[in-house]
Amino acid sequence: RKEVEQDPGPFNVPEGATVAFNCTYSNSASQSFFWYRQDCRKEPKLLMSVYSSGNEDGRFTAQLNRASQYISLLIRDSKLSDSATYLCVVNLPTGANNLFFGTGTRLTVIP
């Protein structure tokens, strides 16, 4: 079983739409959670950390459900510039800072 699983998509949505991505993780001891964004042929960049109580940053909302071991990312009012691959990332307490990445969900926002 993979440590982190995501729907690879692709998600093709019109500008202004709301889109949600889910991610599940297998290890209940996971300690910290993140969403990274990766543009084509570029490095992953931190989009937001995910806090237990859920958190919002502008048009982006992240939620964590420890009981069901899933993380979600909601993007409201999608912009063309939101087109990217969104990586769900989980940090396991197995020694050093050990991040496990999902394969990513590809989003394309269409004009």
Partner 1 sequence: ETGVTQTPRHLVMGMTNKKSLKCEQHLGHNAMYWYKQSAKKPLELMFVYSLEERVENNSVPSRFSPECPNSSHLFLHLHTLQPEDSALYLCASSQDAGSGIEDTQYFGPGTRLTVL
Cβ nearer to partner 1, comparing 29 with 67: 29
Residue number with CB closer to partner 1 (72 or 76): 72
User: Within a 13 Å sphere around the CA of 50, how many CA atoms are in the beta-carbon half?
Assistant: 26
Bond from prior residue into 111 cis (ω within 30 degrees of 0): no
CB of 35 vs partner 1, minimal distance in Å: 11
Footprint of partner 1 (CB under 8 A): 2, 4, 31-32, 34, 41-46, 49, 51, 87, 91-93, 95-104
Question: Among residues 15 and 56, whose Cβ is nearest to partner 1?
Answer: 56
Minimum CB separation of residue 33 from partner 1 in Å reads 8
Distances (CA, A) of 106 to 61, 64, 68, 85, 100: 18, 21, 23, 4, 18
